[in-house]
Amino acid sequence: MTGINQINTKSADIVWQKTDIGKAERCIVKNHKPCVIWFTGLNCSGKSTIANALELWLNKLNYHTYLLDGDNIRHGLNKDLGFSPEDRAENMRRVGEVAKLFVDAGIITLCAFISPFKDTRKAIRNLFEKEEFIEVYVDTPLEVCKQRDVKGHYKKALLGEIKGFTGIDSPYEPPENSEIVIKTAECRIDKAVDKILTYLKEREVINNFTL
């Protein structure tokens, strides 16, 4: 499989253009720290649902946010990519770089992607400073995900109509040291959001809320 770090077409003639305004100055304007909240888990685990609910709360609290969702990103930026191992690696590479730009802009960036491989998630984490990347493992049993699958993707994968489907004929490598673990089979959406908000407050990313 083509790794996320193996794609490099940068010309030696391209140099970084320095600017007078950087991340620190943008954070002062926004009055909060930027970070990436990276939701990973099986298809139908609840990643997008929790990310959306969290962004609603953060928006009500006047924090600057943006949500990058796995399906939505393929309607525009990554609409030229398929689902081959190479294209999936490129999909993640682009998302990581976009998230990095959002963090540099001082924004709390929520990313909801299956991102099944440990090496891929590690490579994306390494794009950021240590305190800027918060991994949320949405830990939902496969059987529960199948029950939630209103689009019928798991059924099609089991029938062989979809190839390389994560959890069926393509592996999902669970995180071992995520900052936050959400077990959606046991935890309501509001409680999952409360857990993440509490963590963000403890990390001093946000500060003006009460549960």
The pair of structure tokens assigned to 140 is: 């939902």
Work out the burial of residue 98: count CB atoms within 10 Å of its CB; fewer than 13 is exposed, 13-18 middle, 19 or more buried. Answer: middle
d(CA 30, CA 180): 25
Q: Of the residues 45, 48, 115, 178, which is catalytic?
A: 115
CB atoms near residue 49 (< 10 Å): 17
Q: How far apart are CA 169 and CA 153, in angstroms?
A: 13
SS3 133: strand
Residue 166 has what DSSP assignment? B
Residue 136: phi, psi to the nearest 5?
-115, 110
Catalytic, 178? Answer no
Strand (E) or helix (H) holding 35 = strand 35-40
Sequence-separated (6 or more) residues with CB below 8 Å from residue 185: 140, 141, 144
Catalytic residues: 115
